[in-house]
Every structure is written in structure tokens, then in C-alpha cells.
């Protein structure tokens, strides 16, 4: 079997933004909305990088280059479906309804960033690699047992497929026929480890064969292809078709996190080659060539995005600080006695420290 033939890359727009497939499931209005969202999210991501460099937020994991996959996936879901993402999946979460300032709040270490507002059906971002894939299976299985028509989607990177959690999750989902969709954002790099050193398989999608589930490959930089593919997958899974593994082939334009320097392990030629077909540039070329949006309209969207992001920066900076003792909250439904005593002790020390500071004032 030739995996590249067995799992062909689904594509609607090529790297130059030319239409090479069917886009009948996506209207012009949807494309305008997609462009607006990709622009807002790219602006947010770049602003967050600068804020970290200024010391105004902590470590930040950029998602530039992966917006089309995340937005395309989130757009294909129903409001009741579960979304389980990693620390790099804020684009999907913001599109889903999480406030624009939450990614900044998260990098500031504020616990409120994990408390998504109702009715957003999503778990807090997962830092432990691949753990959210297991959580998605649990949510999907629970929905099946309860007879609910909802599904669960897990977003993860190519590095996560080297973890045991990935294989355990796919095996359990297959055995239980859980309504789960596993979306691997194959951005070619697990920090500094290239894909070819992570595995000898030609594709990630072919790993679905081992678990007797469906596997697909889609161009993750093509938002039309991602959205249309996910719409079809979601409908099949919701109808009882069993779990599906989707490999979205994309590229991480920036560093792994703000603590990383990709120039130490990635060739400039590779970076430049992938930048040409990145999601926002690709969609922009198509919309201009098709006269769906004009340069002036795009500029207006870009200005709107800047304003929204600056407001998000203000919102994050002015968000009420969390008391130190809140570190014990949201871990257990009922705090165990030993932790409760520690929480009370910390609260006491904080109060004494404040009184001491006031007396010296």
C-alpha cells in the first residue's frame, strides 16, 4: 500500500490561492467571515508575542500558521459538541466563544483563563502532551451512553502521536465506537524534532488502520478544505459511523513557544517555502482574485482586528488579580482537609504580609 495514494491530501485552494476543488459547501459570506477571523487571530497571536518580549505576559505558544485548521474545525461543530485542545489551540477556542483576552490571561498565569464562559462546550487547554485526547474519548463515550447526539473533538500536534495516550485513546474509541474525532495538526515539528525523526510512517492518517477506524488527510492551510472535510466527518460520526482520525497537514510559522529559537534547527529555505502557502495569505489571494473582498475591505478588517486586540490587551491587564490562596481552588470538588489547612495558612500569611506592608507605609 502506498500511504500517499491511500490517504490523498484533500485540497480546495492550492498554495497560490487558486481554486482547484469544489467549494460548494462554503458561501462567499462564510469566506468573508473566515478571513475576518483569521485576521483577528493572527493579529492577536503577533501581539501576544510582542507582549511576552516586553515582559507583560509569561511564556506564550504561538499558533500562527495553524489558524485555518483550528477555525475550520471549530466552525464545523454544533454548540453542544465538545472541543478538547492543547495549549496551542486558542484560535479554535476564541472562535468557539472564549473571550479574546483569555489567551493573554492564560499566559499571565491567571486561573480564570481556565473557566470558560457558558455556553462554550470546551475543556481548559491541556499542557500535558496528548492528555486531552483521552479526555475527548471519555466525553464522547459519555455522550453515547447518555444517548446524546453530541460528539467530542480533540486537537493535538504531531508530537502527541508519539505518546501512549494517543494510541490508548484511539484504541478505546474504536472498541467503544465512541463519537470522537481526532484532529492532528501536523505542523512538521515537535519542538525541535522533525516529523521524519518522530516516526517512519509516511502519514499520520494511516495510523487509523491499526484501530480499524477511518483516516483522512487534509491541507491544514486551506480553510475551505478543512471546514468542508470536517462538516462531512462530523455528520458521519454523529450518525454513529464511529471515530475518525484527521491529519491536517500544516506548518508552525513561529517558534514552539516564546522560550524557543527555531532558527537553531529549521532551515530558512523551509520556512520561506511554507510561508508562501500559509492560511491567511492563501485565502487573501483567493478572495482578491475572486473579487469577494477588495483591498479596501481587507484593510478595514485589519484595522478592526487591531482595535479588538488592543481592547483584549486592556481587558487582560485590568482583570482583577486572583488571590494567592486560589491556587487550591478548582482542583477537587471538595478540598481535602490537608489542602484546606494549607489554603487557610497561606491566606493567613497573605493577610499578615499586607498588614505588615501597611504598617511600614
Among 256, 282, 284, 285, the one annotated catalytic? 256
Give the whole-angstrom CA distance, residue 60 versus residue 33: 26
Q: Is 330 labeled as catalytic in the residue annotation? A: no
pLDDT tens-digit map of 307-321: 999 999 999 999 998
User: What gap in Å lies between CA 57 and CA 109, rounded to an integer?
Assistant: 8
- So what's the pLDDT on residue 70? 98
Other Cβ atoms within 10 Å of 227 Cβ, number:
26
Residue 361 pLDDT greater than 70, yes or no: no
Contact between residue 110 and residue 60 where contact means Cβ atoms under 8 Å apart: no
Measuring CA to CA, which residue among 220, 96, 84, 83 is closest to residue 158? 220
> Does 252 participate in catalysis according to the annotation?
yes
Catalytic residue chosen out of the listed positions 53, 265, 349, 351: 265
Q: State yes or no: is 95 an active-site residue.
A: no
pLDDT tens column, 137-190 = 999 999 999 999 999 999 999 999 999 999 999 999 999 999 999 999 999 999
Residue boundaries of the structural domains of the chain: 3-317, 324-360
Are the beta carbons of 139 and 152 closer than 8 angstroms? yes
Residue 352: what pLDDT?
A: 85
| Span 43-91, pLDDT tens digits | 999 999 999 999 999 999 999 999 999 999 999 999 999 999 999 999 9
Q: Which of 36, 252, 284, 285 is catalytic?
A: 252
- CATH fold of 3-317 reads Rossmann fold (3.40.50)
Cell of 206: 494511516
Number of neighbouring beta carbons within 10 Å of residue 288: 15
Question: Can you tell me the distance from the alpha carbon of 181 to that of 203, in angstroms, rounded to the nearest whole number?
Answer: 17
Q: What is the pTM of this model?
A: 0.93
CA angle 10, 288, 49 (to 5 degrees): 75
Amino acid at each position: 500500500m502506498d500511504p500517499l495514494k491511500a490517504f490523498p491530501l484533500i485540497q480546495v485552494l492550492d498554495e497560490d490561492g487558486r481554486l482547484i476543488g469544489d467549494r460548494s459547501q462554503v458561501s462567499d459570506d462564510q469566506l468573508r467571515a473566515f478571513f475576518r477571523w483569521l485576521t483577528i487571530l493572527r493579529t492577536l497571536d503577533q501581539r501576544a508575542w510582542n507582549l511576552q518580549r516586553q515582559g507583560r505576559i509569561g511564556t506564550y505558544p504561538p499558533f500562527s500558521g495553524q489558524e485555518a485548521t483550528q477555525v475550520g474545525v471549530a466552525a464545523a461543530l454544533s454548540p453542544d459538541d465538545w472541543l478538547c485542545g492543547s495549549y496551542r489551540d486558542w484560535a479554535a477556542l476564541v472562535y468557539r466563544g472564549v473571550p479574546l483576552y483569555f489567551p493573554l490571561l492564560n499566559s499571565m498565569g491567571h486561573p480564570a483563563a481556565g473557566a470558560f464562559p457558558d455556553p462554550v462546550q470546551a475543556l481548559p487547554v491541556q499542557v500535558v502532551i496528548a492528555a486531552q485526547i483521552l479526555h475527548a474519548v471519555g466525553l464522547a463515550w459519555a455522550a453515547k451512553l447518555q444517548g446524546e447526539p453530541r460528539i467530542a473533538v480533540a486537537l493535538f500536534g504531531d508530537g502527541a502521536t508519539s505518546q501512549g495516550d494517543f494510541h490508548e485513546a484511539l484504541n478505546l474509541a474504536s472498541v467503544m465506537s465512541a463519537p470522537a474525532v481526532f484532529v492532528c495538526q501536523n505542523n512538521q515539528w515537535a519542538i525541535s524534532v522533525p516529523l521524519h525523526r518522530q516516526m517512519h510512517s509516511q502519514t499520520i492518517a494511516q495510523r487509523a488502520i491499526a484501530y480499524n477506524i477511518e483516516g483522512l488527510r487534509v491541507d491544514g492551510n486551506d480553510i475551505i478544505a478543512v471546514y468542508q472535510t470536517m462538516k462531512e466527518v462530523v455528520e458521519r460520526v454523529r450518525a454513529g459511523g464511529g471515530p475518525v482520525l484527521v491529519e491536517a497537514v500544516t506548518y508552525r510559522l513561529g517558534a514552539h513557544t516564546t522560550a524557543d529559537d527555531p532558527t537553531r534547527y529549521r532551515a530558512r529555505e523551509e520556512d520561506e517555502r511554507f510561508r508562501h502557502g500559509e492560511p491567511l495569505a492563501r485565502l487573501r489571494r483567493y478572495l482578491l482574485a475572486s473579487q469577494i473582498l477588495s483591498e479596501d475591505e481587507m484593510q478595514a478588517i485589519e484595522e478592526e482586528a487591531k482595535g479588538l486586540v488592543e481592547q483584549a490587551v486592556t481587558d487582560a491587564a485590568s482583570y482583577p488579580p486572583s488571590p494567592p490562596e486560589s491556587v487550591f481552588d478548582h482542583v477537587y470538588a471538595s478540598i481535602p482537609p490537608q489542602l484546606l489547612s494549607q489554603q487557610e495558612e497561606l491566606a493567613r500569611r497573605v493577610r499578615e504580609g499586607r498588614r505588615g506592608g501597611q504598617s511600614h507605609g
